[in-house]
Amino acid sequence: MNEQREGPVIRFFRILGTRLMTLILCNLMFLAVNIPTIVITYAVAVNVMPVISQNLNPEAFAGSIENLGKETGLTESIIEISDEAFRLYFVFILVVSFLIVGMTLIVNGPFQSAFSFIYRNYARETSGFFWHDYRKALKTNWKQSIKVSIITFLVTAVLLFNIGYYATRPEGTLPRIMLGLFVAITVLFSCFQIYIYPLIVTMDLPLKGIFKNAAIFLALRLFPNLGVLLLQVLIMFVIPFALIFFGGQIGSTIAVVLYITIVFSLSHFIGSFFVWQQIEKYIIPDEEEGQTEETPASTEVEMGAVETLSEK
C-alpha cells in the first residue's frame, strides 16, 4: 500500500498539508465548545492555588520571577518591572489551563469524541463530509464521552491538588517522594488519556474495555507514548509560553494566533495519528497477509469486533 511505502512520518505531513484548513476549523471549534471548561479551570486554579500554599499566590510568584531576572540578567521589559512579573502569574495560569484542557484532562467530552472521529478518519484517509462525520460521531458517542469526561475531571483534580500540596511542603524526604509519585502518575495518566477518545470512536466496547485497552497500550508503548506526550506539551505549553515570556508584544501576539488557529488541533491530530498506528498494528488484522493471531492489545478485543469500526 502507498502509506506503507512512504512511511508514517511522510504520510503524516502529507495529510497535515492537505487537511490544514480543516484542522484550523477544528481548533476554532475546540476553543468555542471548551470556553466553559477553560474558564472553570482558570478560575479554580487562580482561587485554589493560594489556598494550597502561600508560595502559589501572585505576589510570591512575581517575587520569584523578579529574583530570577536579577540573577540571570534577563530583559528589563519582562522581569524587572513588578507589574509585568505580576501579570505573568496570570498568564502562566492561563497557559497551564490551556494545557490541561488541551490534554483532554478537563474537556467537553462529547465534542472531543467528535473531533477524535474526524482526526482518526484523516489518519485512516477515509474521511467523508466533515459536518456529517462530526454530527454522526457526536450522536453516537456522547453518552460514553460524558462519563469519561467526568471520570478524568475527578482524577485530574485529585492529582493536581496533591502535586500543588506536596510541591510547597517544607523540605523533607516524604514530601519529595510523594511529589515525585504524583507527578509520575499524572504523566502516565496523560499518556493514558491520549488513547481514550480515539478508542471510543473506533471500537464498540463498554467503558471498562476502553480503559483496559488504553492501559494495555500505555504499558506496551510506554516510551513512544512519552515521546508523543512531550511533543504535545511542547506545542501546547512550552512554545507559546516561551513566546510570551521572551518575545514581548510580538511574541505574545504570535502565541495568541497559534492558540486560536492550530495548537490544539495539531496536538490532537498527532495523538490520533499515533493511536491509529497502534490500533492498526496491534488490533486490526493485516487483511493482505491474512493475519489472525491475537496480540497483547487484542486480548481484550476480539479481532472481529473491529470489522465495524468505520460504522460506529
- Domain assignment of residue 222, given as a range: 2-283+293-311
Q: What does the alpha-carbon distance between residue 46 and residue 54 come to, in Å, rounded to a whole number?
A: 12
The answer to whether 199 and 214 are in contact (CB under 8 A) is: yes
Asked whether residue 51 is assigned to any structural domain, the reply reads: yes
Low-confidence ranges of the chain (pLDDT < 50): 1, 3, 75, 77-79, 286-311
What SS3 class is residue 294? coil
Q: H or E segment at 252?
A: helix 239-261
Residue 238: all three cell numbers together: 512550552
- Number of neighbouring beta carbons within 10 Å of residue 235: 19
The answer to whether 220 and 297 are in contact (CB under 8 A) is: yes
| Residue-level pLDDT at 70 | 61
Asked whether residue 230 is assigned to any structural domain, the reply reads: yes
Phi, psi (deg, nearest 5) at residue 162? -70, -35
Asked whether residue 238 is assigned to any structural domain, the reply reads: yes
Q: Which of 141, 151, 148 is nearest to 113 (CA)?
A: 141
DSSP code, position 204: -
| Residue-level pLDDT at 270 | 98
What SS3 class is residue 74? coil
Contacts of 64 (CB under 8 A, 6+ apart): none
Amino acid at 252: S
For residue 167, what are the CA distances in angstroms to 164, 178, 298? 5, 9, 39
- Number of neighbouring beta carbons within 10 Å of residue 130: 14
Q: What does the alpha-carbon distance between residue 305 and residue 109 come to, in Å, rounded to a whole number?
A: 24
| Residue-level pLDDT at 312 | 57
Asked whether residue 288 is assigned to any structural domain, the reply reads: no
| Residue-level pLDDT at 146 | 96
Q: How many domains would you assign to the chain?
A: 1
Q: What does the alpha-carbon distance between residue 78 and residue 89 come to, in Å, rounded to a whole number?
A: 12
The answer to whether 258 and 246 are in contact (CB under 8 A) is: no
Q: What does the alpha-carbon distance between residue 228 and residue 230 come to, in Å, rounded to a whole number?
A: 5
| Alpha-carbon torsion, ordered 239, 245, 247, 249, to 10 deg | 120
